[in-house]
Amino acid sequence: MPKWNGQNPIEKARPGCFLLARSPAVNLNAAQKIAVQAARAAGKVMRDNWRKPKRVNAAEAHDIKLELDVRCQRLIEKILRKAFPGIPVLGEEGVSGDVSAEYRWVVDPIDGTVNYFYGLPHAAVSIALQHRERSVVGVIYDPFTDELWTTTKGKPTRLNGKVVCVSNRSKLEEAVIAMGFSKNKETLEISLPHLIRLSPRVRKIRVLGSAALELAYIACGRLDAYVERTLNLWDVAAGQLLVENGGGEFYSVPAPGGKLRMCADNGKLRKKLKLGTFFS
């Protein structure tokens, strides 16, 4: 797993709040354009290999690492580096350059690898550009639905070019929420009681298996909230900005090992979920 300074680079976020220099050195429109190009290229690789045998680099108890993950990240890096040679890349499949630099790309080449490996068409490419550890460009691409979510600092979130926003649902009984579960015993012991408590109170709970897409779905109003207790930066760096620029809220606290605990929602539900110990 790639290492960085051990600090959670995503702070408790307020919608519309960005900590940026007044005159960023990188043209964000150009950065978004190249991120879209890279995401679509990796998505094409995913589609082209969808029904082909997959080579497994590592199989853990609850996770799978594919050769295709590495191939997609290398392709993404090649495209990003050609346009922005000085910006390092922090990715799930490795680090390139000094990721403590002022700008960095944060990449998850296949978010939802287990889904992809088992033939479940719910996986995506996630690419963010961060400035001083805050996302300023976010791109998520679902190659199976050909849906592309994009945003930049201070601009609206778009889905295939059309402006989208979070849902307006404020009642738990009308809400559809997603939950994710990491596999260690402590996390399950803390998370499962919240699942049991919330299940009869909300319309539906979904466990979908791709943090990037869950965040994208909140940004465009398909889901109302998403909570998970142990996530990596590359899982959420692009989706955080999509949610915030879509009018929602992204709340997180640091977790051991540079990970984070997170609740993203439409700005109307987090306190009503009463997650409390979920963030401890």
Place of tokens 């600092």: 153
Tokens describing residue 13:
């976020």
Arithmetic mean of pLDDT over the chain: 88
| Spatial distance between the Cα atoms of 223 and 166, rounded to a whole number of angstroms | 8
Q: Clarify whether residues 192 and 270 are in a common domain.
A: yes
Q: Clarify whether residues 199 and 158 are in a common domain.
A: no
Q: CA-CA distances (angstroms) from residue 62 to 46, 104, 204?
A: 21, 29, 24
3-state secondary structure of 113: helix
Q: Clarify whether residues 47 and 153 are in a common domain.
A: yes
For residues 235 and 125, the answer to whether their CB atoms sit within 8 Å is: no
pLDDT digits 0-9 by tens, 114-133: 999 999 999 999 999 999 99
Q: Which domain holds residue 99?
A: 28-164
| Domain end (from 164, 192, 227) | 164
- Say which residue, 41 or 5, is predicted with more confidence: 41
Tokens describing residue 168:
């307006």
| Spatial distance between the Cα atoms of 86 and 115, rounded to a whole number of angstroms | 34
Q: Clarify whether residues 194 and 125 are in a common domain.
A: no
Q: Clarify whether residues 102 and 197 are in a common domain.
A: no
Q: Clarify whether residues 235 and 275 are in a common domain.
A: yes
Tokens describing residue 242:
């999509």
| Domain end (from 148, 164, 180) | 164
Does some domain include residue 17? no
Distance of CA 15 to the CA centre of its chain: 17
| Domain end (from 164, 187, 203) | 164
pLDDT reading at 16 higher than 90: no
The CATH number given to whatever domain includes residue 34 is 3.30.540.10
Q: Clarify whether residues 231 and 156 are in a common domain.
A: no
Q: Clarify whether residues 159 and 228 are in a common domain.
A: no
- Tell me the pLDDT band of 186, cut-offs 50, 70 and 90: confident
Tally of domains within the chain:
2
| Spatial distance between the Cα atoms of 108 and 139, rounded to a whole number of angstroms | 11
Does some domain include residue 11? no
Residue-level pLDDT at 87: 96
Report the pLDDT averaged over residues 161-168. 98
Q: CA-CA distances (angstroms) from residue 211 to 155, 227, 235, 271?
A: 22, 9, 6, 21
Residue-level pLDDT at 189: 81
Residue-level pLDDT at 25: 79
Place of tokens 């040679």: 85
Amino acid at 262: M
